[in-house]
Structure 1
Amino acid sequence: MNTAIEADGLTKHYGGHRALDGVGLSVEAGTVLGLLGPNGAGRTTTVRTLATLLEPDAGTDRVAGFDVVRQRREVRRRIGLAGQYAAVDELLTGRENLVLLGGLLRLGRAGARARAAGLLTQFELEAAADKPVKEYSGDLRRRLDLAVSLIGAPWRTPPSNRRRSA
């Protein structure tokens, strides 16, 4: 089995409140996992911890084979995270948002444009690609947000930090 996420004993406290109490899970690569539970169940804390946004108080937690505390940079290079709300600039078009983020990830101008075009096709956003995001429906915004989370191709081996020519 190729394991994408492993958590064993994941624990997190906020003051005297225990948000996570020994969470354990194993997610095979290529599967979809849904975290369900009432408010306060620890879903967001679990995701934030596995995405290296929070440091766990205890437990052994690995993403893509890397420890979320000791190898946080390697984890971040291999994941894409889409939050509950779209994190895009509403004044820019969908294409401009994708190209901008591709540039920030050092894909180079041509690489960012090519990656954006591929994601626009993959998420069926071609017809809306050159419209400002503020004109998007909720469905289009969500698809764009998912595309943005994948602009860096997190499932691939990370590129070097050298700038690519455009």
Structure 2
Amino acid sequence: GGWKNRKVIEFYERYAKTVFKRYQHKVKYWMTFNEINVVLHAPFTGGGLVFEEGENKLNAMYQAAHHQFVASALAVKAGHDIIPDSKIGCMIAATTTYPMTSKPEDVFAAMENERKTLFFSDVQARGAYPGYMKRYLAENNIEIEMAEGDEELLKEHTVDYIGFSYYMSMAASTDPEEL
């Protein structure tokens, strides 16, 4: 099940602690996940996800992302405990989206696309799911299963910095003929 399986969080935390202990005297700057938002664009590569027939893929991808957020928060906690002066960040694959036209629909489509990317850094840097994402999840019947304590963990162990890869920009339009 890849990151759909909550058990992977424990494995990741153990891995992070092992690496922090091993390299604590050599490395000060760390990142918990490289391009964490790739789980939405390449689910197998970004989250080890293989879908079953009839499975709600969008729900599975966002559930996997939630598990990665929790794992990231646990890694931030462990890193700061083991290496108090360390800086631990998150990283997203940033693809800036511009509206294809000045039509309000295209501007809104571009904004929504940006939000789907920035959501990943918002949760890790601000420590909570932003309101716009809660609305998106509800509107799309996506139900994230959160364990008791997840929200507190995210809030208490935010990242110290945000990194990003920038490969390209793209344009958004509600008119398929414009693209």
Q: Same fold (TM over 0.5)?
A: no
The TM-score with structure 2 as length reference comes to 0.24
More helix by share: 2
Highest relative contact order (Cα 8 Å, sep 6+), 1 or 2? 2
